[in-house]
């Protein structure tokens, strides 16, 4: 019988402090779950003198990573320090030293997840990473365990709280993007350099991880098509609302006939869609399986305690495997070879906002380009622009291939009656699947 589980931490920032707090405050629950105490033994920090969010004995702190990853008393290494290349090196060392690893690092797992899982299996170790996607929402364990018998065909997710906060405020109050971004930064929801969030890179990393697990394929970050929200205007949101849609930064992963598409982009959803009501910094993942049908997972996508809850739950998973003697056997090798959809096989509806000359025949010239490709319209708005000879034309198409739609856009820009193609967005969720 194991007397206690010794845990080492790499990092003691917001999430690391939350991990320490949960382990201390929830010791009775952990004892009940696994039958022995969980103790934090050693913590890697950059500065030994820095004030902390939790009370920690000074002798528990170290600036030498080897004091954690090669410590013979430590059973589980928890990585919450962030970073990619250096952190990868540390975790490889920990796994090769036969330490189980729990990480919240989406950047690392999106790029090196396949490699690290292979090393973990070779060394009979667990590598769990629930907290890397959607913070406190147990989506990865649900895909691996709860939906293990089903075939997942589509996942749509709001997996970045910063962009969801921005788009929610723009929609509710008609605010401009720059003003809401500054508010998000002032509130601590956005970094001083918000590029990773607002350009969709953070969400893309999470979608690569979700697609890898949901579709049982090697999905790389480079396989994700990415478009951010920095060019979204209050006019775009206003017109989408008039047509009955809500704009969200949506991660989409779908599989059809063995081929997949993974993308992150600003997307219009019908106001009745479950994801349309997910507001502010909250996250949600909508999953469709052939047998189970529609399911949705909702909750806080970030924050100290929500993320730390996922981390410590992974530690419990490691401990249960230790009791059963099955560590290092939980990672299932990908079942399918990756095949990406080509542009002619990626179908979606599209929102299109055009400024055109307000003259007889202009709209006919525009619609003829769509007719030539067999693309029809579901919704149309046409409004004159005050004090000009231009009109705003807003169109929502029926489903069209990405190839055909992109070709139409190229030709629209060359039409004499078109002043400017202002914006285009994907439309999803009519019928929900």
Q: Which tens digit of pLDDT belongs to each residue from 176-234?
A: 999 999 999 998 888 899 999 999 999 999 999 999 999 999 999 999 999 999 999 99
Task: Tell me: is residue 10 an annotated ligand-binding position.
Answer: yes
13 is in an annotated binding site: yes
pTM, rounded to two decimals: 0.94
Query: Tell me, what's the pLDDT at 433?
Result: 56
Residue 114 assigned as binding residue: no
Low-confidence ranges of the chain (pLDDT < 50): none
CA distance 124 to 316: 17
17 annotated as belonging to a binding site for a ligand = yes
Question: What's the confidence (pLDDT) of residue 188?
Answer: 86
Domains in the chain (CATH in brackets) are 5-133+304-324 (3.40.50.720), 139-300 (3.30.360.10), 343-427 (3.30.70.260)
**pLDDT on residue 34:** 87
Q: Is 309 annotated as a binding residue?
A: no
Contacts of 163 (CB under 8 A, 6+ apart): 197, 198, 200, 203, 228, 229, 249
At residue 53, the pLDDT reads: 87
Q: Annotation-wise, does 14 bind a ligand?
A: yes
Considering Cα of 300, then 303, then 305, then 308, what sign does the dihedral take?
positive
Rounded distance, CA 181 to CA 217, Å?
Answer: 36
Judge contact between 350 and 175, C-beta under 8 A: no
Which residues are catalytically annotated?
206
The pLDDT of residue 432:
56
Whether 196 has a binding-site annotation, put simply, is no
Beta-carbon count within 10 A of 20 CB: 24
Beta-strand ranges (E) seen in 341-409 are 347-357, 377-384, 390-397, 400-401
Q: Please, are residues 199 and 230 in contact by the beta-carbon 8 Å criterion?
A: yes
Where would I find the H helices in 174-303? 177-187, 195-198, 201-215, 234-242
**Amino acid 302: pLDDT:** 85
């Amino acid at each position: 019988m194991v007397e206690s589980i010794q845990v080492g931490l790499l990092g003691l920032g917001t999430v690391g402090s939350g991990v320490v707090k949960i382990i201390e405050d929830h010791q009775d629950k952990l004892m009940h779950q696994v039958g022995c105490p969980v103790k934090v033994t050693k913590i890697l920090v950059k500065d030994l003198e820095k004030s902390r969010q939790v009370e920690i004995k000074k002798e528990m702190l170290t600036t030498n990573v080897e004091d954690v990853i090669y410590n013979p008393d430590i059973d589980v290494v928890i990585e919450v320090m962030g970073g990619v290349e250096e952190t990868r090196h540390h975790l490889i060392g920990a796994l090769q030293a036969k330490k189980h690893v729990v990480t919240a690092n989406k950047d690392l797992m999106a790029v090196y997840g396949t490699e690290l899982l292979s090393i973990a299996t070779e060394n009979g170790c667990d590598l769990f990473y629930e907290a890397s996607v959607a913070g406190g929402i147990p989506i990865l364990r649900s895909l691996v365990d709860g939906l293990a018998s089903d075939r997942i065909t589509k996942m749509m997710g709001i997996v970045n709280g910063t962009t969801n906060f921005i788009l929610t405020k723009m929609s509710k109050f008609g605010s401009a993007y720059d003003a809401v971004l500054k508010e998000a930064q002032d509130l601590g929801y956005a970094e001083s350099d918000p590029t990773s969030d607002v350009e969709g890179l953070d969400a893309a990393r999470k979608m690569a991880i979700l697609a890898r697990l949901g579709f049982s394929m090697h999905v790389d970050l480079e396989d994700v098509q990415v478009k951010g929200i920095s060019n979204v205007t209050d006019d775009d949101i206003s017109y989408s609302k008039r047509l009955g849609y809500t704009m969200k930064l949506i991660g989409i992963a779908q599989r059809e006939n063995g081929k997949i598409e993974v993308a992150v982009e600003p997307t219009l959803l019908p106001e009745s869609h479950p994801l349309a009501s997910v507001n502010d910094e909250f996250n949600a993942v909508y999953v469709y399986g052939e047998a189970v049908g529609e399911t949705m997972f909702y909750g806080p996508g970030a924050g100290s305690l929500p993320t730390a809850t996922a981390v410590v739950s992974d530690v419990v998973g490691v401990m249960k495997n230790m009791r059963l003697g099955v560590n290092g056997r939980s990672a299932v090798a990908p079942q399918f070879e990756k095949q990406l959809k080509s542009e002619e096989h990626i179908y979606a509806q599209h929102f299109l906002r055009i400024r055109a000359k307000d003259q007889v025949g202009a709209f006919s010239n525009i619609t003829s380009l769509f007719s030539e490709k067999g693309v029809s319209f579901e919704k149309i708005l046409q409004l004159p622009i005050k004090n000009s000879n231009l009109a705003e034309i807003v169109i929502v198409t029926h489903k069209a291939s990405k190839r055909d739609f992109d070709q139409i856009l190229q030709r629209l820009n060359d039409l004499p009656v078109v002043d400017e193609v202002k914006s285009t967005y994907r439309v999803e969720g009519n019928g929900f699947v």
